Amino acid sequence: MDLLIRSCSGFHIGCSINHMSSSSCPTLRPSTRFFTVRSSLPFPQQKAMYHRELQAAVDVVERACRLCSDVQKSLFSSDGRIFEKSDKTPVTVADFGVQALVSLELSRLFPDIPLVAEEDSAFLRSSSSFLLDSVVSAVTDKTSAGDKPLTSNDVMQAIDRGGKSAFVFGVKPETYWVLDPIDGTRGFLKGSQALYVVGLALVVAGNIVLGVMGCPNWQGDTSNQLIAEGQEDKSNLPGLGAIMVAHVGCGTWMRSLSHISDSMVKVHTGWVRCFVDLCCLVHAARFCIPDSQTWESLPLSVSFSSTTNCDSIKDGQVLLLPTCCGSLCKYLMVASGRASVFILRAKPQTVIKAWDHAVGMICVHEAGGQVTDWKGSQLDLAADQVERRAIFPSGGVLVTNGNLHNQILEVISSSSSIV
C-alpha cells in the first residue's frame, strides 16, 4: 500500500511501505487541519506574550537567510571566501555575517537581553583583512543601522556580544537569545540543494518561549499547500526556502521565505500550521540521525536495520532520511511532519551546544512532538550555569512525534549495554 505522509503543508509524499497495514495506526489528521494565514505573524498579538520579540526575530532571520544566499553564490564563483577555524570546521563570511547582523538588530531593539551564539571575533582578528572586509560588506548590505556606516570594530563587537564569556549568567533563571548563525555549515558549502538553517530562540526564566528557523534551500512544500487550496502557484518563482516559527502556546507555523534572490523584493505566501506526523509504530517511522554517526552506533540497531530506499523497506528495517548537515535541519524535519524521529548519541569528549537544539526544541514541542534525553528527562539549557552554551543530555537526544517517544525510550533502556 502507499502510506500518505502528512507534512506541515499538507503535501503528501507517496512512499511504498508494504509492511504497514491500514489498521496499524489511527487515521491521519484530516486535511481540514491545514490552513493558511496571510499575516506578518500567524496569530494575533493578544495571544502571544512575546509577539514583538517574535516579529523582530522573523525579520532578522529572514534577512540573515538572504545574506547567506548572497554569500553562498559567491563561494562558487571566486577564491578566498571559504576559511577554516582552528578546530578545522569550515567557516565562511556568512557565519560571521549572520551573527553580527542578528546581534546588531537585537541589541538595537532589546539592549538588555544578552545573546548566546556560536562565533566570536578571535578568528577574524587573526585573519586577513579581506575576510573582515567581506563580513562588514555583507552585514552592511542587510542591516537597518541607519545612515552611519558600519566599521570593522562595530562588526567585531557585535559578534563578540554573543561570544564566549560575553555575559556571565549564574544559577538563577535568565532571559537571553540563543543563535546558531548557520547550523550545517558543511551543507552550506555543498551548494544550493543542501539544507542548512539559521536558528534563533528566546529563553525567558529558563523556558524557551519562541523560536525561528530559516532554511533557504527548503523545497516548496508551502507552495504545494497554496496550490491545493486554490491559491496562486508561486513554486516557479526564484527563492526557494521556508521560515518556521513557534511561540509558546501558539503552535508551530511555516511559510515561504521572502524572495531571497532579491533583497529589495518580498513575496510572502501564507502561514501554514505545522504538526508532527502520526506514525505510532517504530518500524514504520522515518528517522534522521547525525551525519557523523551511523545507525549501527545507536541502540535501535539491535532491533532494526536501516535503509535509505523508501521504495524497498524490508521486514525489520526502518527508513533513514538524508537531511544533510546539522541538528536543526532534523528538528525542522520532525516539526514539519517529514520525519518521525531524530536521534543523536552523545559522544565522549564532544560538547553538545545549546544553539544546536534550543530553537528546534520549541518548534517540535509546539508542533505536538517531544524532546528529551535518552532517559526521558527534559534537556536543561541552564546546565551550563555560567555561560549557557552547553547542554549535557544523558546518553543523547531523542526527538519524536510524541507517539513513538516511550517506545523508543524502552528500546534504548533495554539496550543499555550500548548506551
Task: Render 173-226 in DSSP notation, one character per residue.
Answer: ---EEEEEEEE-HHHHHH-TTS--EEEEEEEETTEEEEEEEEETT--SHHHHHH
Q: How far apart are CA 327 and CA 398, in angstroms?
A: 12
Q: Is 141 annotated as a binding residue?
A: no
Say whether both 255 and 290 belong to one domain: no
Question: What is the CATH number for 139?
Answer: 3.30.540.10
Q: Is residue 36 domain-resident? A: no
Say whether both 216 and 306 belong to one domain: no
Beta strand 2-5 with 13-16 is: antiparallel
Q: Is residue 391 domain-resident? A: yes
Say whether both 372 and 298 belong to one domain: yes
Closest CA to 103 of 52, 154, 41: 154
Q: Is residue 23 domain-resident? A: no
Q: Is residue 342 domain-resident? A: yes
Say whether both 60 and 189 belong to one domain: yes
pLDDT at 73: 80
Say whether both 190 and 307 belong to one domain: no
269 is catalytic: no
Say whether both 171 and 288 belong to one domain: no
List average pLDDT for each run of 10 residues in the chain, which is 419 residues long: 34 34 38 48 93 97 93 68 66 92 96 96 89 93 80 96 91 92 84 84 96 89 35 40 96 83 50 96 95 93 92 90 87 96 93 97 98 97 94 97 97 74
95 is catalytic: yes
Beta strand 317-320 with 352-353 is: unpaired
pLDDT at 23: 36
**pTM score:** 0.85
Say whether both 98 and 199 belong to one domain: yes
pLDDT at 91: 76
Active-site entry in 95, 154, 221, 277 = 95
User: Where a domain ends, among 231, 250, 273?
Assistant: 273
Contact 336, 251 (CB under 8 A): no
Q: Is 182 annotated as a binding residue?
A: yes
Q: Is 183 annotated as a binding residue?
A: yes
The whole domain housing 316 covers 282-417
Active-site entry in 36, 92, 143, 185 = 185
Q: Is residue 305 domain-resident? A: yes
Say whether both 85 and 175 belong to one domain: yes
pLDDT at 35: 44
Beta strand 305-307 with 317-320 is: parallel
Q: Is residue 62 domain-resident? A: yes
Phi, psi for 110 (deg, rounded to 5): -135, 70
User: Where a domain ends, among 273, 295, 317?
Assistant: 273
Q: How far apart are CA 122 and CA 130, in angstroms?
A: 15
Say whether both 149 and 69 belong to one domain: yes
Say whether both 132 and 247 belong to one domain: yes
Q: Is residue 233 domain-resident? A: no
pLDDT at 173: 84
Say whether both 255 and 400 belong to one domain: no
pLDDT at 189: 79
Question: What is the CATH number for 296?
Answer: 3.40.190.80
Contact 11, 218 (CB under 8 A): no
Q: Is 118 annotated as a binding residue?
A: yes
Contact 272, 244 (CB under 8 A): no
Structurally, the chain folds into a number of domains equal to: 2
Say whether both 256 and 287 belong to one domain: no
Q: Is residue 291 domain-resident? A: yes
